[in-house]
Amino acid sequence: LHTMEKQLHLNLLASKPPMAGLQSGSNVKLRMGPGRKRDFTPLPWSQYFETMEDVEVENDNSKDISFVYCCEDSCGSHGPVLMLLHGGGHSALSWAVFTSVICSRIDCRVVAMDLRGHGDTKVKNPEDLSAETMAKDVGKVVEALYGENPPPIMIIGHSMGGAIAVHTAAANHVPSLLGLCVIDVVEGTAMDALNSMQNFLRSRPKTFKSVENAIEWSVKSGQIRNVESARVSMVGQVKKCEEPLSSPGVSRSISEGIIEEEEEDEEGGESNHKRKKEDDQEIKKECLYTWRIELSKTEKYWEGWFKGLSSLFLTCSVPKLLLLAGVDRLDKDLTIGQMQGKFQMQVLPQCGHAVHEDAPEKVCLVCWPYLVTMCHRLCC
């Protein structure tokens, strides 16, 4: 875009007030001052989406249930559809804050789906997380929602979801696809990271004493840098434990999983360190939470998600956008492709891997030209 066009987009984005209660993308400082405790209470999905529904799809002589969250445009059913695919271990709720931001800026429809094995989606074979199967799932959900004549669709995928977005586009499972946005995943970096992935998964706490506890861990560990997003996103990542509360090692894993900070209590001046011991004594009286999906058991599919991804991405015929948290993530094929103008690229520094959660306003701004193009096509 030319400089004047970019400025126009900035002005348009800034001209609309944020939705009530929305603090997305503002990078609010986590510490609110002496004696102030951060709020880690969960936020409801309904603050960000209009509906949530089970989408029934046919699959090998059985019916699978895909769970989706939706947000319609102000015109009802005329804007383009953003199909949002989350990363491994996350859920559709990771797109909650981004959805509020984008829907307050432009008339579009949003469908954020829980991929198989994640969130609340229920399928016959939840352990089949192959790229081919998950790409077919996306196509089936689109068909179930919109029939044989789906509206113009832009797929936006993060990490694993970005890889699935590319596989979906390359296999033409969404014939009305008009655009593709992949967030912070490239083949070279992803393949290199697989060797250390199991160590990373082992470093996470196995259980939490509450959803609030899980939210606190996600923020203090840096997994999600936007507190508001963590408060809605983590709800879709954890579930109540099915095992007995007295299981050995449970208390230990919780205390190890939280990074404690010495913050003075507003009223009594008691430090968190002292209260921590009292909290630990109450753990067995509370319901424990654990991860909804054991990512370590999906290892056999990891290579299939990412191997050959760069060339597959470059062969997709629709307009493409690659959004990265760091320029060092580019591999050779993508570097050449970017120089040849085969796709647009934007780097958003000072963000973690969950770029769309850490800086939803910035991601919205980057996606803006593609959405404007879609809307223009619809009006022509």
Task: Indicate which residue of 137, 353, 356, 358 is catalytic.
Answer: 353
Closest CA to 141 of 173, 180, 167: 173
Task: Indicate which residue of 100, 159, 218, 310 is catalytic.
Answer: 159
Active site residue 159: yes
- Do the bridges between strand 109-113 and strand 62-71 make them parallel or antiparallel, or are there none, so unpaired? antiparallel
For the chain, the domains span 48-196+297-379
Indicate the pTM of the whole model. 0.81
Active site residue 9: no
Cβ(45)–Cβ(93) under 8 Å? yes
Q: pLDDT tens digits for 301-310?
A: 999 999 999 9
Active site residue 73: no
The CA–CA distances, whole Å, from 87 to 64, 162, 246, 253, 372 equal 21, 7, 32, 24, 26
Q: How high is the pLDDT of residue 332?
A: 85
Cβ(72)–Cβ(146) under 8 Å? no
Q: pLDDT tens digits for 66-87?
A: 999 999 865 556 778 999 999 9
**Residue for token pair 């004696």:** 35
Q: How high is the pLDDT of residue 21?
A: 36
Q: How high is the pLDDT of residue 218?
A: 97
Q: pLDDT tens digits for 222-253?
A: 999 999 999 999 999 999 997 655 444 443 44
Instruction: Provide the 10 A C-beta neighbour count for residue 100.
Output: 25
Task: Indicate which residue of 137, 184, 210, 233 is catalytic.
Answer: 184
The CA–CA distances, whole Å, from 109 to 152, 248, 304 equal 10, 47, 30
| Structure tokens given for 303 | 């290579």
Query: Helix, strand, coil shares of the chain as percentages rounded to 5?
Result: 45, 15, 40
Which regions in the chain score pLDDT beneath 70?
A: 1-36, 73-77, 243-286, 373-380
The sheet with strand 207-208 has its strands ordered as 207-208, 289-291, 238-240
Q: How high is the pLDDT of residue 374?
A: 60
| Structure tokens given for 67 | 């769970």
| Structure tokens given for 217 | 């861990």
Closest CA to 328 of 311, 343, 310, 347: 347
CA distance 135 to 115: 10
The CA–CA distances, whole Å, from 180 to 78, 91, 104, 254 equal 20, 19, 21, 39
48-196+297-379 under CATH 3.40.50.1820, yes or no: yes
